[in-house]
């Protein structure tokens, strides 16, 4: 039995356990996630998204095999045992190729799925919910399900050929937009139980028609909209009463839970409620990278107070310049006056700046920032002023006053909420 299937069995047995999913490629965020997993004695699920990592390199420049090697190397360095590391692929399907006709987009998606499974990704989110060129919008459930089953068949064959354990699958048609909504001004519509039932039935038929009876037993979660999301400046918080019918529906399916996307910036109380209500897989990404951005800007403010101007990293200015020179990651997402755009590039909760931390100029500025500060004895008043959540840990000796440690600690505080929400029993459930 897959460790994720074991967790679901425990959940349906009455233990309110869950599993956070860290969707990120940033090394500092991943290291922080590993430190949190070690501190709490729980496994770690790390996921790559189809636009981050694909057979052509994605925006990170990594193929699935590259990403697996990269994350496993970070785990070895952090001391996280490989058996406690679970790798997943998010939004795997024609997402990146929506501009192409369905035949071409799905051909690329098949290659994508095969590359992920051969590399060793165990949790596969089959996302064929998006329309390709010439498709009807929105896509009917039957077409989404047929395309998902097509990709599941490719995944099964890839795992068999590579002599790997067969993957577990996540399905769904009402899939929130990756990275948060562009705007929540119109509110959110919680998925109706009858829509969830239609999705499940369509996928069951499609899998059966492809002879995927064993794979269907490894469909472990359904992506729905539980009423949580965020945009550039607001958060739509979880309202348990609104999702109660949806929660009751999945309770009738012992092999399934829900996977909740875009749970970034939810309160810890809301995260606990989500897990309790069978939204047992909690996805987080931009909230973690935004915490890293906040920490880095705070460290740059400390640098401004201590370092002569000609020696400073000028991190925020370098990041802004890179975003202006290469606007493709934010231009379609942000709108408004020049001043508003400037604010969004730096501070938006959707954190499109996360796409630029790997740019050479930004990397060099961050390295200079850390070098400048690590050569100094950082004054406690400045740490207290700009990193108040970290100063107590510095004072009690549990946190070194070094730039990278301070930044990871801030990220770790965000991720620890998810581990606590998923309950201490999660470690036992996944063993």
pLDDT of 181: 64
Indicate if 259 and 304 belong to the same structural domain: no
Indicate if 188 and 318 belong to the same structural domain: no
Q: How far is it, in rounded angstroms, from Cα 72 to Cα 310? A: 39
Indicate if 273 and 305 belong to the same structural domain: no
User: Could you tell me the two tokens for 338?
Assistant: 């020049």
Q: Is there a domain that residue 417 lies in?
A: no
| % of the chain exceeding 90 in pLDDT | 92
Place of tokens 């370092």: 307
pLDDT of 423: 77
Indicate if 275 and 294 belong to the same structural domain: no
Measured in degrees and rounded to the nearest 5, phi and psi for residue 233 equal -140, 0
Q: What is the pLDDT of residues 137-148, one digit of tens each?
A: 999 999 999 999
Q: The pTM is what? A: 0.95
User: Could you tell me the two tokens for 130?
Assistant: 């998006």
Q: Is there a domain that residue 428 lies in?
A: no
Q: What is the pLDDT of residues 378-419, one digit of tens each?
A: 999 999 999 999 999 999 999 999 999 999 999 999 999 999
Can you give the CATH number for the domain in which 378 is found?
A: 1.10.400.20
Can you give the CATH number for the domain in which 263 is found?
A: 3.20.20.70
Indicate if 307 and 247 belong to the same structural domain: no
pLDDT of 184: 79
Give the C-alpha distances (Å, rounded to integers) separating 420 from 64, 84, 282, 427: 30, 17, 12, 11
Indicate if 248 and 357 belong to the same structural domain: no
Q: Is there a domain that residue 423 lies in?
A: no
Q: How far is it, in rounded angstroms, from Cα 123 to Cα 114? A: 13
Give the C-alpha distances (Å, rounded to integers) separating 363 from 31, 266, 408: 17, 30, 16
Q: How far is it, in rounded angstroms, from Cα 228 to Cα 429? A: 26
| Domains of the chain: total | 2
Q: What is the pLDDT of residues 352-368, one digit of tens each?
A: 999 999 999 999 999 99
Q: Which of 38-47, 178-187, 363-372 has the lowest mean pLDDT?
A: 178-187
Q: Is there a domain that residue 257 lies in?
A: yes
As a whole number, mean pLDDT of residues 268-289 equals 97
Domain end (from 260, 288, 316): 288
Say if CB 54 and CB 95 are below 8 A apart: no
Indicate if 98 and 216 belong to the same structural domain: yes
| % of the chain exceeding 70 in pLDDT | 97
Q: Is there a domain that residue 102 lies in?
A: yes
Q: Is there a domain that residue 99 lies in?
A: yes
Give 182's pLDDT tier (boundaries 50, 70, 90): low
CA–CA–CA angle 57, 61, 62 (5° rounding): 65
Domain end (from 255, 272, 288): 288
CA–CA–CA angle 37, 41, 43 (5° rounding): 55
- 427: pLDDT strictly greater than 70: no
Contacts of 98 (CB under 8 A, 6+ apart): 105, 130, 131, 132, 133
Indicate if 281 and 321 belong to the same structural domain: no
Q: Nearest CA to 17 among 36, 3, 31?
A: 3
pLDDT of 35: 98
HEC profile of the chain: CCHHHHHHHHHHCCCCCCEEEEECCCHHHHHHHHHHHHHHCCCEEEEEECCCECCCCCCCCECHHHHHHHHHHHHHHHCCCHHHEEEEEEEECCHHHCCCCHHHHHHHHHHHHHHHHHHCCCEEEECCCCCCCCCCCCCCHHHHHHHHHHHHHHHHHHHHHCCCCCCEEEECCCCCCCCCCCCCCCCCCCCCHHHHHHHHHHHHHHHHHCCCHHHHCCEEEEECCCCCEECCCCEECCCHHHHHHHHHHHCCCCCCEEEECCCCCCCHHHHHHHHHCCCCEEEECHHHHHHHHHHHHHHHHHHHHHCCHHHCCCHHHHHHHHHHHCHHHCCCCCCCCHHHHHHHHHHCCCCHHHHHCCCHHHHHHHHHHHHHHHCCCCCHHHHHHHCHHHHHHHHCCCCCCCHHHHHHHHHHHHHHHHHHHCCCHHHHHCC
Domain end (from 288, 322, 355): 288
Q: How far is it, in rounded angstroms, from Cα 123 to Cα 117? A: 9
Give 178's pLDDT tier (boundaries 50, 70, 90): low
Question: Which residue segment(s) compose the domain that 336 sits in?
Answer: 289-412
Indicate if 274 and 317 belong to the same structural domain: no
Indicate if 234 and 305 belong to the same structural domain: no
As a whole number, mean pLDDT of residues 85-104 equals 97
pLDDT of 187: 76
Q: Which residues pair with 171 in a beta bridge?
A: 222
Indicate if 342 and 369 belong to the same structural domain: yes
Indicate if 204 and 311 belong to the same structural domain: no
Q: What is the pLDDT of residues 241-262, one digit of tens each?
A: 999 999 999 999 999 999 999 9
Q: How far is it, in rounded angstroms, from Cα 334 to Cα 183? A: 10
Q: Is there a domain that residue 419 lies in?
A: no
As a whole number, mean pLDDT of residues 175-188 equals 72
Q: Is there a domain that residue 418 lies in?
A: no
Say if CB 11 and CB 51 are below 8 A apart: no
């Amino acid at each position: 039995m897959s460790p994720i299937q074991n967790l679901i069995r425990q959940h349906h047995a009455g233990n309110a356990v869950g599993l956070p999913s860290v969707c990120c490629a940033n090394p500092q965020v991943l290291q922080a996630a590993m430190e949190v997993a070690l501190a709490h004695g729980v496994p770690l699920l790390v996921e790559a998204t189809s636009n981050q990592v694909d057979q052509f390199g994605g925006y990170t420049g990594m193929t699935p095999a590259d990403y697996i090697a990269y994350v496993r190397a970070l785990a070895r360095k952090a001391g996280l045992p490989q058996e406690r590391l679970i790798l997943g692929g998010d939004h795997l399907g024609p997402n990146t190729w929506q501009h192409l006709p369905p035949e071409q987009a799905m051909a690329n998606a098949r290659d994508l799925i095969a590359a992920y499974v051969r590399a060793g990704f165990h949790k596969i989110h089959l996302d064929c919910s998006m329309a390709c060129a010439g498709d009807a919008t929105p896509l009917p459930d039957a077409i989404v399900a047929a395309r998902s089953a097509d990709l599941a068949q490719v995944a099964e064959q890839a795992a068999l050929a590579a002599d790997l354990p067969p993957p577990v699958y996540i399905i769904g048609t009402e899939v929130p937009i990756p990275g948060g909504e562009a705007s929540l001004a119109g509110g959110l519509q919680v998925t109706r139980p009858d829509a969830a039932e239609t999705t499940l039935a369509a996928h069951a038929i499609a899998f059966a028609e492809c002879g995927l009876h064993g794979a269907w037993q490894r469909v472990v979660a359904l992506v729905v909209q539980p009423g949580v999301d965020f945009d550039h400046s607001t958060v739509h918080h979880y309202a348990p009463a609104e999702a109660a019918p949806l929660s009751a529906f999945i309770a009738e399916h012992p092999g399934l839970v829900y996977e909740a996307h875009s749970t970034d910036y939810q309160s810890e109380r809301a995260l606990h409620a989500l897990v309790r209500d069978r939204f047992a897989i909690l996805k987080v990404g931009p909230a973690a990278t935004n915490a890293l951005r906040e920490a880095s800007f705070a460290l740059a403010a400390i640098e401004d107070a201590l370092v002569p101007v000609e020696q400073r990293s000028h991190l925020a200015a370098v990041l802004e310049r890179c975003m202006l020179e290469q606007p493709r990651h934010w231009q379609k997402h942000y709108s408004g006056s020049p001043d508003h755009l400037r604010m969004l590039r730096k501070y938006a909760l959707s954190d499109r700046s996360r796409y630029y931390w790997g740019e050479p100029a930004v990397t060099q500025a961050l390295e200079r920032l850390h070098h400048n500060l690590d050569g100094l004895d950082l004054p406690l008043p400045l740490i207290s002023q700009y990193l108040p959540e970290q100063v107590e840990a510095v004072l009690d000796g549990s946190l070194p006053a070094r730039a990278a440690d301070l930044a990871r600690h801030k990220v770790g505080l965000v991720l620890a909420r998810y581990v606590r929400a998923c309950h201490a029993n999660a470690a036992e459930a996944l063993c």
